Structure 1
Amino acid sequence: MATIPELDPAEFGKWSRGNAIDIPDDVTVTRVGIGQSNLTYLLAAGDSRWVLRRPPVGNLLASAHDVVREARILSALADTPVPVPHVHGVCTDTAVSPAPLVVMEYVEATVLDGLPVAEALSVEQRRSIGKSMVDTLAKIHEVDLDAVGLSDLASHKPYAERQIKRWSSQWEKSKTRDIPAVDDLTRRFLANAPAQTEVRLVHGDFHIRNIMVDPAAARVKAVLDWELSTLGDPLADIGSTLAYWPSRGGPQLSAAPVELLDGFPDHATLAADYVERTGRDPKALKYWQALGLWKVAIIAQGILKRVQDNASNRAAGGVPTNTVVDSMLEAALDVADAAGI
């Protein structure tokens, strides 16, 4: 258990048994995923599996990496059509760990985080998974907030202004150099914010590496990484998905851009499928795509800064570079210019 930072193995064993999770002391621990934010571990003992999540090590930005809040969202979605892992327990006992821990179900499914696993799928399977992603995102946006107890998860004030305030603040706290494009885009987003017509649950970080798929059924089996989830404009979610989704010759956050394989949708198809599925405004989507690119650039900068501050936060997927941050901002400017923002 020593591979999980700051964890007291004996106290963790007491806590797990006291919460009817009963993870044995001789469990093996493996860091999993290529994610750069909350740290994720697979706990294995015999045929039993659990997943443990905790925040990164070191100084964190305010409101970021809240695994307790993430667990609340997962628990609220348990009986909805949105596929999520079951939460076994949340530990906030500082005798166990100075940082909160969440233990959740291990889902037997595939993460498309590398070319070999995605290349093993047929073109038709990839096409079906792309459509399932759009359908799953639409299901998230259909959640009845009052029915699942999430109507108080976040403010209902205009989402664009909230996002701009939050991420420009995060930029100021995590930047390692000045980039005029960040401030330029901030001003333009504020001046052109679309009117808010609905408030929905938004995932906030919906992309191909934050889902698990059932290859046989070619569909999404679980949606992961809800730490950025909030209440706001659902078009912001598909805008972020488009921001993460690579295009040939465009900026790429991943060294293995599986989305470019035949069968997976391109930007235009993703956007059209979502608009057809939900009936939402395609014109406003360009605004959210540009803002999504700006936000992803700021997230990449935050990852870069966290790894600089503490090397144990480095994940298998590597660390974004200044070039990646710059290219995301250039793409944001291109989309904003083309949309007249």
Structure 2
Amino acid sequence: MTDLASVARKSEIERVASLIAAGELLLVHGPWPTEAAAVARGALGSRQVAHVRVAACGDDAALARAFVSAAAEALGGDARLLAASADTLSPAQLRIVLRLRRELAIDDDKSPAATKGSNDPGAALVATTRSVVTLLGSVGATLLVEGADELPAAKRFPDGGAVLWAIRSVAQQIPTLSIVFTGGPDAGELVEDERQAFLGWGRSIDLKRVAPERLSESISQTVGDRLSHDAVADVAAAADGAPWLAQELVDRMLAPSPAGPSQGQALASLRSATQALRELAWSTGPEFAVLLRVVGELHRSSHAVCSALAWDDPPYGVGGPSDVNRALRVLHRNAVVERAGARRWRLCDPLFAEWLRQNSARLR
């Protein structure tokens, strides 16, 4: 997390840290999944953490291996730590490790499914997850799961729901176990959907966009007198509540000119925040071009909806209500759009919105 983002999100980081210390189950989510994860990591500090990235798991077996590796890392080593000698673990930890080794059949190099019968891989995954989370709780580690919005209804995890119920079951038995999920704008489903294991349990920390006044104060604290008061206000407006984008704009505005670093102040006075935003959007163009193709594959109305939102126009004028609603749901699920109010939506990334405005002809 950048210095500016750390300042802008200081209150959220402190709140998350306090809740983690109390052994709470937390969901930290917002329009930018990477920022939600950064806030959680900042709050965890030097705590012992077992880190699982859902996006890196392609199927149930990979998810199981991720939990195993996370548990092993939390004990201070790699996945082979499950073969640790008895003098490195307490008796209680050793019993759990031995049980885990039997369930995973590590000596025989078999998959978790093989230990429970090839016809029931789901049961093996649940048993494995229960064991590794119990192991984490026994050492007082915190379980950090990035990509929570991919868990509730992820088709590639047919037993994902059972895994979450297993995690909740262990967490209820070990009150000191802290679990932190992070994700994008759709991650709230994890604690709001009546079909989910964590419905109504734990705390949901929604990272809203930072208010202009607070973002301006954070920029001023970070850059000092290198930017004028008006320039700081312009950065806050151009960043549209995104601390990470404010940092990018400040860096570009204060970049030294070829004449030397002493020209940074002069360059800042010449290059406005709006100019910096346009330049940054243009330089990120190749990445956004790829994103645009991906967005187009999500739904037939995705391009039209995103174009309307980039210009702050209501999306419901680009097609039939049911068609537009379906497009918005899939875009929301993929962290492309977020809710801005009742029947109001906006693009999650202000920089992507700027690039779309610059390239609106591509969407016609």
Shorter-normalised TM-score: what interval? under 0.3
TM-score by length of 2: 0.26
TM-score by length of 1: 0.27
Structure with greater helix percent = 2
